[in-house]
Amino acid sequence: MHSVFKYRKLIPSLFVLMSWGVCVAPGIYGGQISDEGVPAATNVLNAQYPRVHSDLSVTFRVRAPHATSVQVAPSGNNNGLGAGPFDMARGEDGDWTVKIPPARPGIHYYSLLIDGFSCPDPSSSTFFGWGRETSMVEVPDASLKFYEIRDVPHGEVVIKWYHSKTTGLPRRAFIYVPPGYGADTEKRYPVLYLQHGAGESERGWTEQGRANFILDNLIAEGKSLPMIIVMENGYAYQPGELPAPGGRRASHFDELLVTDLVPMIDASFRTVPDRSHRAIAGLSMGAGQALSIGLGHPEMFAYVGGFSGVMRNFDPHTAYSGVFTDADAFNKRYRLLWLGCGVMDELSYAGNRASHEALNAAGVRHVWFDCPGAHEWQVWRGLLHEFAPLLFRE
C-alpha cells in the first residue's frame, strides 16, 4: 500500500525535472545571475556556481540551510585555487557563499566541508581523483587553446571491455582513435599507452586531461601524427589478493599491460604492432609505471615518457635494472626518453631535474622539459602537448 502522501511527494520532484526541460537539482543554484562571471565549464547542466570571474576569482555557492559550517577545500598542496579551506558565509536563505582570490588557470580538485565532512559540491561534475568521485573547477586560460574543443575533426573515445588473465576479472580501457579512423579501414596507427596518477582512473586523461581534444588539435595542425591512445586503470590486483590496509604493494599493472592489454589492443584495433610504433607515458604514479614498463620492455616500446614522476635518488648506474649503464646501447635502442615536470611541483621537480642532469652526465640521450605549474593537470595537459608531437618520427 502506498500512501497518498508518498504519491504526491514523487510527482513534484520528477515533474520539476521533466516538464521544465530545465534540470536543476536541490542544493544547486540555477537562477539567473547579473554579474560578469560565467559558470565553470566543469559544472553540471544549468548550475550557476562555481562561477569564474574575469579576474579568475571564483565564487562558490551551495544551499545548506541546516549546516553550521561550510567550507571550500582545495585538495592537496599547492592547489591552483589556493590553500584553503575557505570559509563560506551563510546568507539568510541558507545559501553559503565565498569568493576566493584569483586562481591559477587549469582544472583543480576541491571538496566541500559540510560541518567538517568532505563531500563533492552538488553543482560540480565529478572526476575520479583522490580515490573517490571528486569535484573540480575549470579556470580558463584565455591564452591557451590547445586543450579546448575546437572546430576541427574529432577523434572518438572508445570504451572497451575485455577479460584480464592477470586479475581474473573484466576490465575496461578508454581508447582514443584519431579522426578518420573509421573512414579509411586499411590504415594502421601507432599507439601511445598513457597512464593517470595515484587515486585516479582510466577516465582521467580524457575527463581531467582532455587528451582527446589535445590530440585532435595537434593532428589538425599537422603537429602530431595520427595515433591511438590507450588509457587503462593503473590499479590491478591478482585473483584473491585483497587490497590490504597497512601498505602492501598490490598493483600488478605491469603484468596486466604486457600480457593482457597490449595483445588485446593489437588484436582489436588497427595498430602497427611493433616497438617502433609503440610508446608509453604517464603522470606521477603513472610516470613510475611508464618508466618501469617502458624501460623494462625494450622489445615492446621505443618511446618512453615520464610526466612529474617521483624520481628520488635516481642513479643511472643502477636505475631500471641498469638499462642506462651502456649509454650508447640505450641511445641506439630507444628513440625517445622524455622527462617533463612543473617547476612549482614540490613532490617531483627536484628529483626530475636531478635525474635529467644525471642522465646528461651519463651520456643518455633524452629530452627534458620544464614549465610553470605544480603537481596538477594543467601541467600534464601541457606535457602531453609537448610530448605527443615527438612520437613516431623516423
CB proximity list for 119: less than 8 A, separation 6 or greater: 111, 112
CA–CA separation, 36 and 229 (whole Å): 38
Does 194 sit near its own copies (CB under 8 A)? no
Does 389 sit near its own copies (CB under 8 A)? no
What are the grid coordinates assigned to 151, written together?
572546430
Does 250 sit near its own copies (CB under 8 A)? yes
- Among residues 50, 85, 105, 122, the one that binds its own copies under rule CB under 8 A: 122
Considering only residues 329 to 358 of the shown chain, the ones binding its own copies according to CB under 8 A are 346-347
CA distances from 306 to 195, 284, 286, 330, 383 (A): 10, 8, 8, 17, 9
* CA angle at 156 for the pair 152 and 162, rounded to the nearest 5°: 165
Nearer to its own copies, 10 or 329 (CB): 10
* Residue range at the interface with its own copies (CB under 8 A); choices 109-117, 297-305, 324-332, 359-367: 109-117
Nearer to its own copies, 244 or 329 (CB): 244
Residue 326, classed as helix, strand or coil, is coil
Considering only residues 18 to 77 of the shown chain, the ones binding its own copies according to CB under 8 A are 18-28, 30-32, 44-46, 64-68, 76-77
What are the grid coordinates assigned to 58, written together?
571564483
Alpha-carbon Rg of the chain, whole angstroms? 23
Residue 168 backbone zone (phi > 0: left; psi -120 to 50: alpha; other: beta): left
CA–CA separation, 291 and 324 (whole Å): 12
Least CB distance from residue 325 to its own copies, whole Å? 26
* CA angle at 275 for the pair 272 and 278, rounded to the nearest 5°: 65
* CA angle at 178 for the pair 159 and 372, rounded to the nearest 5°: 95
**Partners of 342 in the β-ladder:** 371
CA–CA separation, 359 and 104 (whole Å): 32
Considering only residues 260 to 299 of the shown chain, the ones binding its own copies according to CB under 8 A are 268-269, 284-285, 288
- Among residues 57, 59, 97, 251, the one that binds its own copies under rule CB under 8 A: 251
Nearer to its own copies, 197 or 294 (CB): 197
Does 235 sit near its own copies (CB under 8 A)? yes
Considering only residues 147 to 176 of the shown chain, the ones binding its own copies according to CB under 8 A are 149, 151, 154, 156-163, 170
Least CB distance from residue 346 to its own copies, whole Å? 5
- Among residues 89, 119, 329, 343, the one that binds its own copies under rule CB under 8 A: 119
- Among residues 196, 277, 375, 385, the one that binds its own copies under rule CB under 8 A: 375
Least CB distance from residue 283 to its own copies, whole Å? 11
Least CB distance from residue 24 to its own copies, whole Å? 6
DSSP 189: B
- Among residues 35, 54, 55, 83, the one that binds its own copies under rule CB under 8 A: 83
DSSP 94: S
Considering only residues 306 to 325 of the shown chain, the ones binding its own copies according to CB under 8 A are 310
- How many residues touch its own copies under the rule CB under 8 A: the total is 92
